[in-house]
């Protein structure tokens, strides 16, 4: 399996663990990732608040390069994915828009190269493979609350999973023995935009509800597929705890990190040591179950 890979800006900065773990598990799973040469910004937030055409044209250039190579695009970041998907749909639905976009980017994009979420792709490959033989560590110590966030499975029309109660991440992690919890806040807003805007206290309240819901459901960690959600939930968890005078201590993982861990990849190579909420004690629990308890 070969995909064009669009890491986006977060994955070389705040979300570097997502990039590291993605590349590592792709190797093990036999997924070839070809990074789109000279990719540009997907335009998330800033472009679609500014200009509709600009918002569609920015991802179109990346998609066009992938289309020239005859590949679909694997996109880890939920925001990049949402923006790229919007372009793909717009081009397929309107000949006129397709023409306009092609003029703007001075390239051909026919809507054939598909924007695909990395979660969807990994999910497919893991289901299909005889993956059990490759599992080094069962994730049975983990009770993750899978957190999909606001963009990954919306809007309904283009969603690859149920927009109210998505299951794809849960199913993927259960293959590796994780006991994902059924909980209420899977697709809530993480509050990231409020954090960066003038009203951070709104964001803190939103996050507090997510942490509380996960904890009430019996989760011992959160798992995400979005660098912005990670940023918020991991980096600001301490701030939320202080503000509400409580303790959650919920490590936050990218799903790719947990898949990597189960596949026996060294934690440091996955970036697991880079988290704000210390993930290593939980990681160590997983690693301690090796030997007789391998899958």
Partner 1 sequence: MKRVGVFVCHCGTNIAGTVDCAKVAEAAKDFPNVEYSVDYKYMCSEPGQEMIKQAIQEHKLDRIVVASCSPRMHEPTFRNCVEKAGLNPYYVEMANIREHCSWVHPNEKERATEKAIDLVKMAVAKAVKNQPLQKTTIPVTDRALVIGGGIAGIQAALDLANAGHVVDIVEREPSIGGKMAQLDKTFPTLDCSACILTPKMVDAAGHPNINLLTYSEVEKVDGFVGNFDVTIRQRARSVKMDVCTGCGICMEKCPVKVDSEFELGLAKRRAIYTPFPQAIPNKPVIDREHCTYFIKGKCGICSKVCPAGAIDYTQQDELITRRYGAIIVATGFTLFDHSVYGEYGYGKYPDVITGLQFERLINASGPTMGKLKRPSDHKEPKNIVIITCVGSRDETKGKSYCSRTCCMYSAKHASLIRDKIKDSKVYIFYMDMRTPGKGYEEFYDRSREVYGTQYIRGRVSKIYPQNDKLIVRGEDTLLSQPVEVEADLVILATAMVAQPDADKLAQKIGIGYDKDNFYTEAHPKLAPVETHTQGVYLAGACQGPKDIPDSVAQASAAAAKACALLSKPEILTEPIVSEVDEKTCAGCGTCVLICPYKAIDLKTLTERIAGKTVERKVATVNEGLCQGCGACTVACRSGSIYLKHYTDEQILAEVNALCL
Q: Which residues bind partner 1 (CB under 8 A)?
A: 156, 162-165, 184-185, 213, 216
Alpha-carbon span 252 to 246, nearest angstrom: 17
CB 168 within 8 A of CB 81: no
Spell out a b/e string for 172-199, using b for 16 or more CB atoms within 10 Å of the CB, else e: bbebbbbbbbebebbbbbbbbbbbeeee
Alpha-carbon span 1 to 129, nearest angstrom: 12
Closest approach of partner 1 to the CB of residue 165, in Å: 5
CB nearer partner 1, residue 156 or residue 245 = 156
Closest approach of partner 1 to the CB of residue 150, in Å: 12
CB nearer partner 1, residue 51 or residue 164 = 164
Closest approach of partner 1 to the CB of residue 285, in Å: 28
Closest approach of partner 1 to the CB of residue 257, in Å: 27
In sequence order, the 6+-apart residues with CB closer than 8 A to the CB of 285 are: 141
Closest approach of partner 1 to the CB of residue 254, in Å: 25
Closest approach of partner 1 to the CB of residue 222, in Å: 16
Closest approach of partner 1 to the CB of residue 153, in Å: 10
- Contacts by 124-127, CB closer than 8 A, 24 or more apart: 125/1, 125/29, 125/30, 125/31, 126/29, 126/172, 126/175, 126/259, 127/171, 127/172, 127/175
CB nearer partner 1, residue 50 or residue 216 = 216
Alpha-carbon span 229 to 132, nearest angstrom: 30
- Beta 252-254 vs 115-117: how paired, if at all? unpaired
Alpha-carbon span 269 to 279, nearest angstrom: 14
CB nearer partner 1, residue 164 or residue 278 = 164
Alpha-carbon span 57 to 87, nearest angstrom: 7
């Amino acid at each position: 399996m070969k995909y064009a890979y669009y890491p986006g800006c977060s994955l070389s900065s705040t979300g570097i663990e997502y990039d590291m773990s993605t590349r590592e598990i792709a190797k093990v799973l036999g997924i070839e990732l070809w990074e789109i040469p000279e990719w540009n910004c997907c335009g998330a937030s800033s472009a679609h608040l500014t200009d509709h055409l600009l918002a569609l044209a920015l991802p179109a250039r990346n998609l066009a390069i992938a289309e020239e190579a005859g590949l679909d695009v694997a996109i880890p970041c939920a925001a990049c994915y949402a923006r790229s998907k919007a372009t793909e749909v717009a081009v397929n639905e309107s000949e006129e828009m397709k023409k306009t976009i092609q003029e703007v980017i001075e390239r051909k994009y026919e809507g054939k190269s598909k924007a695909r979420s990395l979660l969807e792709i990994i999910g497919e490959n893991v289901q299909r493979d005889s993956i059990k033989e490759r599992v080094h560590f069962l994730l049975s110590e983990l009770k993750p609350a899978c957190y999909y966030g606001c963009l990954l499975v919306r809007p309904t029309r283009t969603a690859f999973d149920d927009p109210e109660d998505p299951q794809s991440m849960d199913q993927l992690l259960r293959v590796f023995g994780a006991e994902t919890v059924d909980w209420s806040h899977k697709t809530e807003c993480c509050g990231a935009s409020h954090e960066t805007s003038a009203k951070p206290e709104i964001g803190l309240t939103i996050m507090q509800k997510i942490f509380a819901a996960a904890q009430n459901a019996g989760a011992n960690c959160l798992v995400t597929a979005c660098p912005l959600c990670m940023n918020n939930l991991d980096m600001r968890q301490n701030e939320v705890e202080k503000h509400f005078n409580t303790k959650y201590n919920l490590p936050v993982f990218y799903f790719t990190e947990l898949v990597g861990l189960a596949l026996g990849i060294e934690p440091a190579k996955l970036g697991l040591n880079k988290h704000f909420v210390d993930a290593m004690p939980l990681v160590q629990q997983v690693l301690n179950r090796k030997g007789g308890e391998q899958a």
